[in-house]
Structure 1
Amino acid sequence: MKKHKKEHHEEHIDETWLIPYADLLTLLLALFIILFASSQVDEKKYAKVMQGLNSAFNGGVSVFEESDTLSIDDISVNDVKNVNENGQDQNQALNDLINKEKQDMEAIKKRLDTFIAENGLTLQLQTNVTSDMLKITIQDYALFDSGKAVVKPEAQKLASIISEMLSMYPDYKVEVAGHTDNIPIKNNEFDSNWDLSSKRSLNFMKYLLRSNNINQARFRSIGYGEYQPIDTNGTLEGRAKNRRVEVNIIRNTIEAKTKTIIP
């Protein structure tokens, strides 16, 4: 009789645990490298990397993705002192930047309010500081003739004043937004309120950019048409308020969305 060799079947050990273990070792290695080099690394890059690591550990965006809730990378060396040298953590540095931006917005608002009062423009211009921007609202009749997008000559002085103030605060982005009421417009120049609001915002922005001290990369214009009213369109007064141009000076940090960076 033939002898049958007894076959032995090896049982494979479950090695799936090696994947998370390897990931953990990689993260620890990256952390030790960062800690070792933290005394020499650029402050802005350090803040950005630490934000990414914290987000990764807490289920947020990864190190290689950008977050739209907080602009840590906008913290400049001039605004934030070296964390290691001064013993400040990133949360304190962020609070300092928030306070600085508050002061900047209030300073611009104060200067504009003085100009508005001295020139009797209180019915045409309003300023308002919110948690994320300084909003300068200009009624359309102060800038344009009805149904037109050509900036009036007398409004060019206003653009020059605003431009001068913006040049003093080069760290902020600026949005120039056009708005209309809900009365349809259709003439040889404009097919819709979208076209009218977009052209008005663009034309006024061009006057803001005439100063040589302005970084044009900071600016954008946008037309919202009739779709962001601030009052009723059921009355003449309400429609007049809705027809406006807004110059929005955007803060880099938004208090309402700010959260702890390092637990």
Structure 2
Amino acid sequence: MKRRRIRKRESTGAPKWMVTYSDMVTLILVFFILLFSVSQIDMVKFDAISESFRNRMIFDFYPSPVPMENPTENTSNEESGKNSNEFENPTQLENINDRDGGEEKDSLDELMQQVEQYLQNNDLSNAISASRTDQGVVLVLQESILFETGEAEILDSGKPFLNKIGKLLTNIPNHVRVEGHTDDRPISNYKYPSNWELSGARASSVIRYLINDNDFDESRFTSAGYGDTRPIAPNTSEANWRQNRRVEIVIMENNKQPENNE
């Protein structure tokens, strides 16, 4: 009996491995599509890069591979940097700002050290406190040193303190802002209908005394009366009321002008 021959089926179509390969390629394509769909283009950086290519600032300092007839005449401006926009680089502008901020900080530090040293040398540290703010150095004089309660006329006992402050300001030509502050207890009389008038009158009295006693330039000074709007302690006790009734002399940082009356 003859053995039956097994006929091999001829494979038609693509090989089997192509199915796996095509699935893998499809998955990779979907993966990159997902990455692109969730990504965001930073338009600011994109515009900056585009602008840099348009300006050709990168290639201005490199010689052209194409020979020119008169290379020395055409490259003198590029080598000197006249046609480049290197000074429009935001990074350099940031460095300039950082440097200016450091100079301002150093200036305030020196001013603060000078004021503190003067207060110590004249035994004023216990009566006058000094602190530094963004505006400059602030000297705080409590009401009890300069005024009677509810009054704006400077006491004789407070004049020596203002005399010493006047000597300090003689050596510091900066602009000065004098601020009057009160507690929140209301006041109402024919001279001062409210704390606004009282605080403004006290600031004006201090400025008038300093100018008359030291012959200062009036344009250096400005006054402000804040009433009870800027307390440094809660208005809940007699001790806190005393802290809030004060006059602040702000020695401005040397490149700042005093603010207008607020």
> With structure 1 as the length reference, what TM-score do the two structures score?
0.57
Structure 1 residues 97 and 228, CA gap change in structure 2 (3 angstroms):
closer
Contact 1:150/1:200 (8 A) holds in 2: yes
Cα drift, residue 195 of structure 1: 0.6
Deviates more, 1:239-248 or 1:129-138: 129-138
2:196 alignment counterpart: 194
Tell me the secondary structure at the aligned position of residue 222 of structure 2: strand
The partner residue of 1:241 within 240, 243, 248 is: 243
Tell me the secondary structure at the aligned position of residue 205 of structure 1: helix
1:155 aligns with 2:158: yes
Tell me the secondary structure at the aligned position of residue 247 of structure 1: strand
How many residues are treated as equivalent by the alignment? 171
1:231 alignment counterpart: 233
Cα drift, residue 153 of structure 1: 1.2
Cα drift, residue 141 of structure 1: 1.0
Cα shift readout 1:37-77 (whole Å, capped 9, x = no counterpart): xxxxxxxxxxxxx9xx99xx9xxxxxxxxxxxxxxxxxxxx
2:162 partner amino acid = A
Following the alignment from structure 2 to structure 1, what is the Cα–Cα distance between the partners of residues 97 and 237?
A: 50
The partner residue of 1:216 within 195, 218, 222 is: 218
Look at both structures and tell me which one has the larger radius of gyration over its CA atoms: 2
Cα drift, residue 93 of structure 1: 6.0
Following the alignment from structure 2 to structure 1, what is the Cα–Cα distance between the partners of residues 189 and 135?
A: 37
Contact 1:175/1:249 (8 A) holds in 2: yes
Structure 1 residues 237 and 191, CA gap change in structure 2 (3 angstroms):
same
1:99 aligns with 2:77: no
Tell me the secondary structure at the aligned position of residue 209 of structure 1: helix
Following the alignment from structure 1 to structure 2, what is the Cα–Cα distance between the partners of residues 181 and 89?
A: 44
2:107 partner amino acid = K
Tell me the secondary structure at the aligned position of residue 122 of structure 2: helix
Cα drift, residue 131 of structure 1: 3.7
1:204 aligns with 2:206: yes
CA RMSD of aligned residues (A): 3.1
1:95 partner amino acid = G
Following the alignment from structure 1 to structure 2, what is the Cα–Cα distance between the partners of residues 111 and 207?
A: 20
Contact 1:116/1:125 (8 A) holds in 2: no
Q: Can you give the 5+ residue segments of structure 1 that lack an aligned partner in the other structure?
A: 1-34, 37-49, 58-87, 255-263
| More RCO (CA 8 Å, sep 6+) | 1
Cα shift readout 1:150-198 (whole Å, capped 9, x = no counterpart): 001121121111111112111x221100000011111221100001100
2:130 partner amino acid = T
2:234 partner amino acid = T
